[in-house]
């Protein structure tokens, strides 16, 4: 039976010496180091670590932010960091929880552990990590189910966004659990099934992988043969990305267009300062795939402004880059979270 633990009782339980024997979720807020953040747009809110969220086959950490005072079902955004990053630093730099407080949606972060990957990359290239209900993919699914049970989450408005290795893991979630997500964003990432081990992953990151669109789509259909629908996908990539080749963005477009059974046309082009957006629409006129290309942009998450003249404090900030538009802010708009 699912139930919500009253906040007063939860505080008593957190302080109890019997904590390891508890059979229901307990959360504890984490402290944040006092450090100037990269993004200058919004003040992030504190994340709370969930110490127990159920089965955790991939041994990941879960952190969340749920805005106070929301009456009724709220959307949920799952955020996945890149290599050499962690949830708190990524959130400070990207401003996701600040947007969540402003607009009234919940944010869930999955965080990698050094034991799983010394570079803190999600293991998107290992079949055992991205199989349905197994490994890291299974852990993230458990986190989402926990949030759905404990909070007032609108099951029709669950989204996922990932950067780099997190983007590749977001692609795996969209392919494996299409019924769970309304939409997702792959930022500087790779298509689902692009690699099956670390060596092939490094190669495809540098050069991409030449594969017909239908072959890319078959990889998705193999893991979700009974899917009645697939989520819309937003793909973001820098034209000068030296870490993950732009060819991977083109492969992701080919994969998801074929999944949605859309023709391989050039799509509807829209220009903006610093880049372009191409859109492909479904039978009802809704955008099912979009490609946002940022000109003269490297590997990282685009935000509208960064602290001028400030050296990055860590690897997270090194991959949060100033751009004409902010990916989190744009996604809030396109996903109708505002």
Q: Residue 187: beta bridge partners?
A: 163, 236
30, 49 contact by CB (below 8 A)? yes
Q: Is 184 exposed, middle or buried (0-12, 13-18, 19+ CB in 10 A)?
A: buried
Query: 213-223 vs 247-259: helix axis angle to the nearest 10?
Result: 60
Selecting among 164, 232, 234, 322, the annotated active-site residue is 164
Q: Is 261 exposed, middle or buried (0-12, 13-18, 19+ CB in 10 A)?
A: exposed
Catalytic residue at 31? no
Q: What Cα–Cα distance (Å) separates residue 253 from each residue in 29, 128, 191, 237?
A: 39, 25, 8, 11
CA gap 304, 281 in Å, rounded: 27
Q: Cα 128–129–133 angle (5° rounding)?
A: 90
DSSP 8-state symbol, 39: B
Active site residues: 164
């Amino acid at each position: 039976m699912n139930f919500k633990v009253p906040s007063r009782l939860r505080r008593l339980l957190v302080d109890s010496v019997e904590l390891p024997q508890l059979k229901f979720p307990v959360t504890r807020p984490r402290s944040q180091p006092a450090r100037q953040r990269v993004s200058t747009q919004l003040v992030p809110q504190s994340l709370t670590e969930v110490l127990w969220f159920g089965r955790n086959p991939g041994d990941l950490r879960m952190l969340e932010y749920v805005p106070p005072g929301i009456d009724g079902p709220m959307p949920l955004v799952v955020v996945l960091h890149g290599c050499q990053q962690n949830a708190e630093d990524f959130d400070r730099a990207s401003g996701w929880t600040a947007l969540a407080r402003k607009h009234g949606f919940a944010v869930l972060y999955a965080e990698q552990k050094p034991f799983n990957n010394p570079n803190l990359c999600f293991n998107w290239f290992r079949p055992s990590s991205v199989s349905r209900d197994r490994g890291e993919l299974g852990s993230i699914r458990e986190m989402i189910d926990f949030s759905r049970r404990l909070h007032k989450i609108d099951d029709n408005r669950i989204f996922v966004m990932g950067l780099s290795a997190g983007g590749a893991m977001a692609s795996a979630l969209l392919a494996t659990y299409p019924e769970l997500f309304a939409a997702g964003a792959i930022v500087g990432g790779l298509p689902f099934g692009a690699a099956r081990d670390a060596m092939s992953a490094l190669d495809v990151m540098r050069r991409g992988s030449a594969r017909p669109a239908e072959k890319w789509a078959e990889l998705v259909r193999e893991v979700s043969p009974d899917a009645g629908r697939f989520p819309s996908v937003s793909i973001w990539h820098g034209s000068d990305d030296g870490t993950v080749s732009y060819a991977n963005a083109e492969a992701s477009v080919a994969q998801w267009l074929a999944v949605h059974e859309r023709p391989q046309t050039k799509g509807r082009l829209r220009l903006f300062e610093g880049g372009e957006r191409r859109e492909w629409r479904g039978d009802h006129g809704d955008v099912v795939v979009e490609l946002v290309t940022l000109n003269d942009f490297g590997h990282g998450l685009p935000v509208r402004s960064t602290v001028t003249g400030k050296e990055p404090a860590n690897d997270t900030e090194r991959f949060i880059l100033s751009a004409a538009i902010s990916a989190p802010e744009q996604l809030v708009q396109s996903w109708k979270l505002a």
